[in-house]
Structure 1
Amino acid sequence: MNLEITELTARLLAHRWLPRTDSQIRRALVDEAFRAELESNLAAVGLQLLDNPFAEHVAVGLRDEVMDAVFGGRDYQASTMGLTRDEIALLVVIWALIILPKRERQLGRRSLDDDGQNDMFGQDKPIEHGESVSGAVSESSLLADFGAQLGGRTKIRNFALGKLARLGFIVRSNGYIHEGPLLDVLLDYRVMADRIINGTLADVLAAAGRALPAGMGEDDDELFDETDEDVDPLA
């Protein structure tokens, strides 16, 4: 067996996610034979590689055929990484506030400080990742806007946000919430974005003064890029 494949498989199992900039991950993303062998290794233990080209990290997740064997017969939280309903709702709100604007910037080939007005060749740029396109959410603003609906400010600040950080969905720093390594990998963008843009959460965000990114609506088919992974982590 290829030693490099063995090492990468072990690292993915140990860490759960790795950055796309990792040399072995980069090879897995461009070398078809290498990727196939890695996928075979992971499949042998019921896992698959989760790769979203817009995300800064890749991760491992359960294959569909073992979902029932792993989660069958257990309580509701077993299939949601131990998150309660309020915590899942909080996660969805944070995803909407960070990932939706981020994806709009990525598709427009724009950075956080670029309005795209002066770049004639923006669409020729590669997709950007990391802090250049992923914004942050103020904890105090989040608590003021959604604290009452999601279990109370104290519960969110002292428990829910800490749990989301430990799971790898967010990073907390100096009063701000940043994208964690799993936020844009484990949540299915095509399903989530459609439900948020055209669903109830759009009204909730609007009521809190949190407008969706400009131009996002029913006709924005480009935002649902066919290369996004169709993965439902919380099912």
Structure 2
Amino acid sequence: MTDPIATLIARLLAERWLPREDAAVRQVLVDAELRDDLDRRLAAAGLRLLEHPYAAHVAVGVARAQEHDVFGSARAWAASNLQLDRDALALLVVLWALLVLPKRQRQIARQEAERAQDQEQMFAELKPVPVGAEVVEPVNERTLLADYGDKLGGKFRINLNLGLLQRHGFIVRRKERIHEGPLLDLAFDYERIASRVMDGALSFVVAQARAAKAEADADADLAALDGGRDEAGDATDPHPSEEMPADV
């Protein structure tokens, strides 16, 4: 007799991710008893199931209790077990912010709109969260290079890291467009990372906007002061012309 939970764990380890529409995955997600059994077996091996309703795939990752022993055993804390360089990790964070954050906002907005509509119906059906391509806008590679090329190592390093991230399943590249890969939405804890990314970016933008406004106000004040001086000079000529005597 086959063990469905053992088979599912083996498939997750071998294939690295599975779609939510997979029959075994869907059964575990809707059956509380099977889910508890899966979580218990994964925890016994220091692993946990990576999934949330906004992601189109599921995977396995290191359990919280084992993170320090796995990633903190070296001299410096390792960001992952994929041996990614700093510029590759920075690019991964940028792509997560460009692809996942807008997608999540669209998903939440659509959920709220559908929830408000369902409240008006007596027998409303529960609808799954949209996770397909209709809520994910791809990123143009040329735009990425133009906006972040000087910060992420230039064109050569970005192209190299894009290929690396694609091989790891974080992104998919098609016709100079970068699409969300199976693992991108599972790579970061949204609740822990989203506020840091958004608050950090927004604070930088606000600081830039305030500095630009202060500089513009200072220039306007200086221009007004110079204009006032010019008008005052025209009104009081320091060398008035002498009045010529009239011919009688």
Q: TM-score range by the shorter chain?
A: 0.7 to 0.9
Relative to structure 1, is the Cα distance of residues 71 and 196 closer, same or farther in structure 2, using a 3 angstrom cutoff? closer
Q: Percent identity?
A: 49
Aligned-partner Cα distance in 1 for 2:141–2:117: 36
- Structure 2 counterpart of 1:214: none
SS in 2 for 1:149: coil
Offset, 1:9: 1.1
Gaps of 5+ in 1: 111-115, 208-235
The match for 1:121 among 95, 100, 117 is 117
Aligned-partner Cα distance in 2 for 1:164–1:77: 20
Aligned-partner Cα distance in 1 for 2:204–2:118: 32
Offset, 1:191: 2.1
User: Could you say which structure has the higher helix fraction?
Assistant: 2
Aligned-partner Cα distance in 1 for 2:152–2:41: 40
Offset, 1:72: 4.0
TM-score (norm 1): 0.76
SS in 2 for 1:108: helix
Q: In the comparison of the two structures, how many residue pairs are matched?
A: 199
Relative to structure 1, is the Cα distance of residues 138 and 76 closer, same or farther in structure 2, using a 3 angstrom cutoff? farther
SS in 1 for 2:147: helix
Question: What aligned pairs does 1:203-222 form with structure 2 within 5 A after superposition?
Answer: 203=204
The match for 2:142 among 140, 143, 154 is 140
Aligned-partner Cα distance in 2 for 1:77–1:87: 16
- Structure 2 counterpart of 1:176: 177
Offset, 1:41: 2.1
**CA RMSD, aligned part only?**
2.7
Relative to structure 1, is the Cα distance of residues 167 and 76 closer, same or farther in structure 2, using a 3 angstrom cutoff? farther
Tell me if 1:32 matches 2:28. Answer: no
Question: Is this contact kept in 1: 2:20–2:58, CA < 8 A?
Answer: yes
- Structure 2 counterpart of 1:131: 133
Aligned-partner Cα distance in 1 for 2:132–2:24: 19
Name the larger-Rg structure.
Answer: 2
Question: What aligned pairs does 1:162-173 form with structure 2 within 5 A after superposition?
Answer: 162-173=163-174
Question: Is this contact kept in 2: 1:108–1:122, CA < 8 A?
Answer: no
Considering Cα pairs closer than 8 Å and 6+ residues apart, tell me whether 1 or 2 has the greater RCO: 1
Offset, 1:73: 3.2
Offset, 1:36: 1.3
SS in 1 for 2:110: coil
SS in 1 for 2:143: helix
